[in-house]
């Protein structure tokens, strides 16, 4: 079975549905708050698990009731909780999420225990990486911790995938080092442009197209660069290959976690030997499916659900 290590965040999402997102300084009335397990690390770990991988999540929670709720939710998805650190000094991470009638969202994260995740909490990572196919990290935990995990994986010969989100406010030596150790970089349009702008002296002009932008990202270190484009699909490039996939048309109800579903499916597909274009196609399908359901973790599709969607898409394209 495909084996993936994830080092990342665990949050409780406080979600409020609104007719429209408020402008700065504006108050809008929403519906009742919902409490859902989230966090980029947890979401991507659950997505990879639901897609069929054996996943170990290295993360941190607080001693509060939210932490208990998060641990129970992870276990319910089949994830081991033995790699989850309990931080005695910080509350569990919380994300404040507003979702409008079109499924678009606005998110603010209070990191809590995620901010305390350190190399000391990764003591079991080297052993877990023995025989692992990928390490997947994001940036909702300290950058130094993500970098430390990448160094452990690099020494073990395990490829590193970095979902560089959220980006730090400016270039840092740690981010530069992490990108240099990254085999697969996954970013959205805003993050891609910020990375290139922050390192303009190191990359060629990306031009006006997203393929050019993705190619420019390769100059920062990754062997493969993927840029997700929301309703426009995604592009992926290596030094000698390009894949550009359009989005799958769906009736979106909640885009929260769609990018995490994309990441989880992409990693498992690549680990299973799929070619880049096919892995990207299936990841786009997974992300699209996730938008048709409410929530982040529960919305992540299984491989069989992606198979079914692609079968319908193939049939439609041949009719």
- Give the alpha-carbon dihedral of 211, 215, 217, 218, to 10 degrees: 150
Cis before 166 (ω within 30): yes
Instruction: Provide the 3-class DSSP secondary structure of residue 13.
Output: strand
Instruction: Provide the 3-class DSSP secondary structure of residue 277.
Output: helix
Distance, in Å, from the CA atom of 80 to the CA atom of 67, rounded to the nearest integer, reads 15
**Whole-number Cα distances in Å, 23 to 27, 96, 106:** 8, 16, 11
- Find the catalytic residue in 260, 272, 307, 319: 260
Annotation says 260 is catalytic: yes
**Whole-number Cα distances in Å, 154 to 130, 158, 180, 222, 298:** 12, 6, 11, 13, 32
Identify the bridge partners of residue 234 per DSSP, sorted by sequence position.
228, 245
Distance, in Å, from the CA atom of 13 to the CA atom of 40, rounded to the nearest integer, reads 11
Cis before 254 (ω within 30): no
> Hey, how many other C-beta atoms are within 10 angstroms of the C-beta on 212?
15
Distance, in Å, from the CA atom of 47 to the CA atom of 297, rounded to the nearest integer, reads 7
User: What is the DSSP secondary structure assignment for residue 19, as one 8-state letter?
Assistant: S
71-102 burial, b for 16+ CB within 10 Å, e for fewer?
bebbeebebeeebbbebeebbbbbbebbbbee
Catalytic residues: 260
């Amino acid at each position: 079975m495909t084996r993936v290590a994830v080092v990342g965040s665990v949050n409780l999402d406080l979600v409020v549905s609104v007719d429209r997102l408020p402008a700065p300084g504006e108050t809008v009335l929403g519906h009742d708050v919902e409490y859902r397990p989230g966090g980029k690390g947890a979401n991507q770990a659950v997505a990879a698990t639901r897609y069929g991988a054996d996943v170990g999540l290295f993360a941190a929670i607080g001693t509060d009731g939210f932490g208990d709720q998060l641990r129970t939710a992870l276990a319910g998805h089949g994830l081991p909780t033995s790699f989850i650190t309990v931080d005695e000094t910080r509350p569990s991470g919380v994300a404040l999420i507003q979702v409008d009638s079109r499924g678009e969202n606005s998110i603010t994260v209070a990191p809590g225990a995620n901010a305390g995740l350190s190399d000391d909490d990764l003591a079991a990572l080297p052993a877990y990486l023995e025989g692992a196919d990928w390490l997947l990290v994001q940036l909702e935990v300290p950058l130094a911790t993500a970098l430390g995990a990448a160094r452990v994986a690099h020494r073990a010969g395990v490829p590193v995938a970095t979902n560089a989100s959220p980006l730090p406010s400016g270039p840092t030596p740690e981010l530069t080092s992490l990108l240099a150790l990254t085999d697969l970089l996954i970013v959205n349009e805003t993050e891609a442009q910020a990375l290139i702008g922050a390192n303009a002296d190191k990359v060629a002009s990306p031009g006006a197209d997203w393929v050019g932008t993705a190619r420019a990202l390769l100059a920062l270190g990754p062997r493969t660069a993927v840029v997700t484009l929301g309703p426009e699909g995604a592009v992926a490039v290596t030094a000698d290959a390009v894949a550009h996939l359009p989005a799958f048309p769906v009736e979106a109800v909640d885009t929260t976690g769609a990018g995490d579903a994309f990441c989880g499916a992409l990693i498992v597909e690549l680990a299973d030997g799929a070619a880049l274009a096919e892995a990207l196609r299936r990841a786009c399908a997974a992300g699209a499916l996730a938008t048709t359901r409410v929530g982040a973790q529960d919305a992540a599709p299984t491989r069989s659900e992606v198979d079914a969607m692609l079968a319908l898409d193939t049939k439609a394209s041949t009719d």
